[in-house]
Chain A
Amino acid sequence: DTAVSQTPKYLVTQMGNDKSIKCEQNLGHDTMYWYKQDSKKFLKIMFSYNNKELIINETVPNRFSPKSPDKAHLNLHINSLELGDSAVYFCASSQQGNEKLFFGSGTQLSVL
């Protein structure tokens, strides 16, 4: 009964491919996020959704397209993968009115 679960845990793919990462939370939270952690461990916000609406988009290339079918799910689709996209992608959730973030276990993306 993991609170924030994301799949897959590992993703190895070739440059130019399109891939998706899925995230689901069972905490009843109304806000979900995608963070990117690069090889130097820097955690950077990419997107934030509140009740299925995009709230934050931090100058992420439009090859990245988040989709939130409902407030418990936030998926990330990446087109035309590049070497620089290699990183660990963390999904997270929180409840409006409470800043505490609950992170998923991360997806390690390797673009070859």
Chain B
Amino acid sequence: GENVEQHPSTLSVQEGDSAVIKCTYSDSASNYFPWYKQELGKRPQLIIDIRSNVGEKKDQRIAVTLNKTAKHFSLHITETQPEDSAVYFCAASQGSNSGYALNFGKGTSLLVTP
């Protein structure tokens, strides 16, 4: 099955700096790569996703890049704010058929200090 590795496990940045979280996946059939944010005590929520036919996607301060050849994808957060502090999960999936589920990385705990 799919194996998703995520680094780093913890990340501390100053407010205003950028944060980068990296993931690798093992199954070349994976074609959907979402990122979820989980605030303390809350449910995970989708913040951005990318499909294998796209190399980069941006939404305001958040961007995701995908390198299919190397089987890795990254989350970039610019101009970080204290409210960005949370655990971020990457995931990979082979598709939207019901036979496939999202396989998550182990999470990155991001702390943004004022």
Residues of chain A having any CB pair with chain B under 8 Å = 30-31, 33, 40-45, 48, 50, 55-56, 58, 90, 94, 96-101, 103-106
A99 — which chain B residues lie within 8 A by C-beta? 32, 34, 49, 93, 95-96, 100, 102
Q: Kindly state the separation between the CA atoms of A42 and B33 in the bound complex, as whole angstroms.
A: 17
| Contact in complex: A56, B101 (CB < 8 Å) | yes
Q: Kindly state the separation between the CA atoms of A68 and B96 in the bound complex, as whole angstroms.
A: 20
B89 — which chain A residues lie within 8 A by C-beta? 43
Residues of chain B having any CB pair with chain A under 8 Å = 32, 34, 36, 38, 42-46, 49, 87, 89, 93, 95-104, 106-107, 109
Q: What are 16 A-B pairs with beta-carbon distances under 8 A?
A: A41-B87, A41-B106, A42-B104, A42-B107, A43-B44, A43-B104, A43-B107, A45-B101, A97-B96, A99-B32, A99-B34, A99-B95, A99-B102, A100-B46, A101-B46, A106-B43
B104 — which chain A residues lie within 8 A by C-beta? 42-44
Q: Kindly state the separation between the CA atoms of A98 and B32 in the bound complex, as whole angstroms.
A: 10
| Contact in complex: A103, B43 (CB < 8 Å) | yes
Q: A42-B106, A43-B104 are in contact. List 6 more A-B contacts (CB 8 A).
A: A43-B107, A45-B103, A99-B34, A99-B96, A100-B34, A103-B43
Q: Kindly state the separation between the CA atoms of A30 and B42 in the bound complex, as whole angstroms.
A: 24
